């Protein structure tokens, strides 16, 4: 049997981390088994569908590198096929027309709730003869679910799961306006497309017995189901916007590498021994759906940041510089003293994203800096330190303004004033960068260049005098 999986998002919003992981597991399982992966857009919710969301989902999958072998298919273009299957089911008696009003259904529900019964359709129209079913009157179409027996399936992640048919109702497969419903469309699609393995979120478990019954009613083979647990935030609650970025494309905008994101979400519920870092080829080689945990996983930004920094550090200096440039809102070629490849190599040791490197390196390529108030108040107190540094740093030609020279000046200043290196280095750091933290300040100063360093020292000296 050739393995065939699918990812079937609804285009009502962006591709979130949970959907991306489901897609990844489906993609990996197909690739691991030399099978096929299908992209199918479930767009029959015409009121909530968005073309922008559809485009965003496809772009996110492309950014993550999950290519599909078939698709994208759109359910909205398959309405004739759904109508054909429904008509056949009506003829065979596995579906029927229902004429119950909203008021009747509401009364039934209220009575069931008052009696502490599970709300379900009472089957009022279930036994109408074909002659009693008038297609010209307003109606929906319901699936005639078996009233006895049970539905059992062996979930590839969770093991054997059983539902009694009496717990299931005759759910609607076509609304009054004729549009088919999710639980019906997905069955016809999986059947027509030859899907062998359905990997999806655990919120679909209750849909599975209904879908299996419909599949059996149309004579289709039952695929293998695997239901993946939810992803929680660090507080143990379902991952949402309050935990930070959950839109996959937001991670791109924030400067994460797709390889790091793929690696991280693959590990949200799956593992291979103690290994943490996987190439795409290794993920394909080792992935097995049976090794996915049925327990919820927690999204940990610290772990993602660690992985992303690791992937950035593994890039060549030129590759890293090219990627960081996409996030720089300044000209990275303005200074001969600061080759961007050298700058990013310095910052990557303390930054976790491409955007963070671009943001932090900005003061090297711009004129002047704004002093961070807290850092300035803490470290810009001794004007003599900055005046001494300025005098010594101005004593050479610009071409001699090297890392080694700046470091030597810092040592000489500390010795001359009887201070520790920290009492010299921190004021210089704040004066040159405006911040209380940065990579090695002697390297930073050499990148900024002599003229700009001296100008910033003047600015910091004036700030101290004005503050006093």
**What integer pLDDT is reported at residue 341 of this predicted model?**
96
**What integer pLDDT is reported at residue 221 of this predicted model?**
95
423 among known catalytic residues: no
- Provide the token pair at 454: 């001296």
Q: Which domains does the chain have, with CATH numbers?
A: 1-72+181-314 (3.40.50.620), 315-364 (1.10.8), 373-467 (1.10.10.350)
Angle at 366 between CA 364 and CA 368, to 5 degrees: 100
pLDDT tens digits for range 309-345: 999 999 999 999 999 999 999 999 988 889 999 999 9
Helix/strand/coil (H/E/C) assignment for every residue in 105-174 = HHHHHHHHHHCCCCCCCCCCCCCCCHHHCCCCCCCEEEECCCCCCEEEEEECCCEEEEEEHHHCCCCEEE
β 36-41/4-7 pair status: parallel
351 backbone dihedrals φ, ψ, rounded to 5°: -115, 155
Q: What residues have CB less than 8 Å from 399, skipping those under 6 apart?
A: none
What DSSP line would sit under 38-86, residue for residue?
Answer: EEEE----TTT--HHHHHHHHHHHHHHT---SEEEEEGGG-HHHHHHHH
* Residue 251 burial (10 A CB sphere; 0-12, 13-18, 19+): buried
pLDDT tens digits for range 383-416: 999 999 999 999 999 999 999 999 999 999 999 9
The answer to the question of whether 100 is labelled as a binding residue is: yes
Candidate from 105-119, 120-134, 237-251, 262-276 with smallest mean pLDDT: 237-251
Question: What is the rounded distance in angstroms from the CA atom of residue 21 to the CA atom of residue 14?
Answer: 14
Which is catalytic among the residues 2, 77, 130, 241? 241
The answer to the question of whether 127 is labelled as a binding residue is: yes
**What integer pLDDT is reported at residue 356 of this predicted model?**
98
The answer to the question of whether 125 is labelled as a binding residue is: yes
Angle at 318 between CA 353 and CA 335, to 5 degrees: 90
Buried b (16+ CB within 10 A) or exposed e, 169-204: bbbbbbeeeeebbbbbbbbbbbbebbbbbbbbebeb
The mean per-residue pLDDT over the stretch 174-186 comes to: 94
The predicted model scores a pTM of 0.91
Of the candidates 460, 433, 457, 456, the one whose C-alpha atom is nearest the C-alpha of residue 444 is 433
pLDDT tens digits for range 102-154: 999 999 999 999 999 889 999 999 999 888 888 999 999 999 999 999 999 99
The answer to the question of whether 185 is labelled as a binding residue is: no
Positive or negative: CA dihedral 29, 31, 35, 37: positive
72 backbone dihedrals φ, ψ, rounded to 5°: -75, 135
Of the candidates 297, 310, 227, 302, the one whose C-alpha atom is nearest the C-alpha of residue 265 is 297
């Amino acid at each position: 049997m050739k393995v065939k999986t699918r990812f079937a998002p609804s285009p009502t919003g962006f591709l979130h981390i949970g959907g991306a992981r489901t897609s990844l597991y489906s993609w990996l399982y197909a690739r691991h088994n030399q099978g096929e992966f299908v992209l199918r857009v479930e767009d029959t919710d015409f009121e909530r569908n968005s073309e922008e969301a559809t485009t965003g989902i496809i772009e996110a999958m492309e950014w993550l590198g999950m290519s599909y072998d078939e698709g994208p298919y759109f359910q909205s273009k398959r309405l004739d096929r759904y109508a054909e299957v429904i008509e056949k089911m009506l003829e065979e008696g596995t579906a029927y027309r229902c004429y119950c009003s909203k008021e009747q259904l509401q009364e039934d529900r209220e009575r069931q709730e008052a009696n502490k019964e599970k709300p379900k359709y009472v089957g009022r129209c279930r036994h109408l003869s074909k002659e009693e079913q008038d297609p010209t009157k307003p109606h929906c179409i319901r699936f005639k679910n078996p009233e006895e027996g049970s539905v059992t399936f062996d979930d590839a992640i969770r093991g054997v799961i059983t539902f009694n048919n009496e717990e299931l109702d005759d759910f609607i497969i076509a609304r009054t306006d004729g549009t088919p419903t999710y639980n019906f469309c997905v069955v016809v699609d999986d059947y027509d497309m030859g899907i062998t393995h359905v990997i999806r979120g655990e919120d679909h478990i209750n849909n599975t017995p209904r879908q299996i019954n419909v599949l059996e009613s149309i004579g289709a083979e039952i695929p293998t189901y695997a239901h993946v647990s939810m992803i929680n935030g660090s507080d143990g609650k379902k991952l949402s916007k309050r935990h930070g970025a959950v839109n996959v494309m937001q991670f791109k905008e924030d400067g994460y590498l797709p390889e790091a994101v793929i690696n991280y979400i693959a590990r949200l519920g799956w593992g291979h021994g103690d290994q943490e870092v996987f190439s795409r080829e290794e993920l394909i080689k080792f992935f097995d759906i049976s090794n996915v945990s049925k327990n919820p996983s927690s999204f940990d930004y610290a772990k993602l940041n660690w992985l992303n920094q690791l992937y950035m550090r593994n890039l060549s200096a030129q590759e890293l510089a090219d990627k960081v440039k996409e996030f720089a809102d300044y000209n990275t070629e303005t200074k001969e003293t600061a080759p961007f490849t050298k700058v990013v190599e310095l910052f990557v040791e303390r930054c976790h994203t491409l955007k963070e490197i671009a943001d932090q390196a900005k003061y090297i390529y711009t004129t002047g800096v704004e002093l961070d108030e807290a850092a300035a108040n803490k470290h810009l107190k001794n004007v003599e330190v900055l005046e001494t540094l300025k005098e010594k740093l101005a004593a050479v030609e610009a071409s001699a303004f090297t890392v080694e020279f700046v470091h030597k000046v810092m040592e000489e200043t500390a010795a001359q004033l009887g201070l520790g290196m920290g009492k010299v280095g921190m004021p210089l750091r704040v004066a040159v960068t405006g911040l209380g933290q940065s990579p090695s300040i002697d390297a930073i100063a050499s990148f900024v260049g002599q003229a700009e360093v001296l100008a910033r020292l003047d600015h910091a000296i004036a700030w101290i005098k004005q503050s006093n």
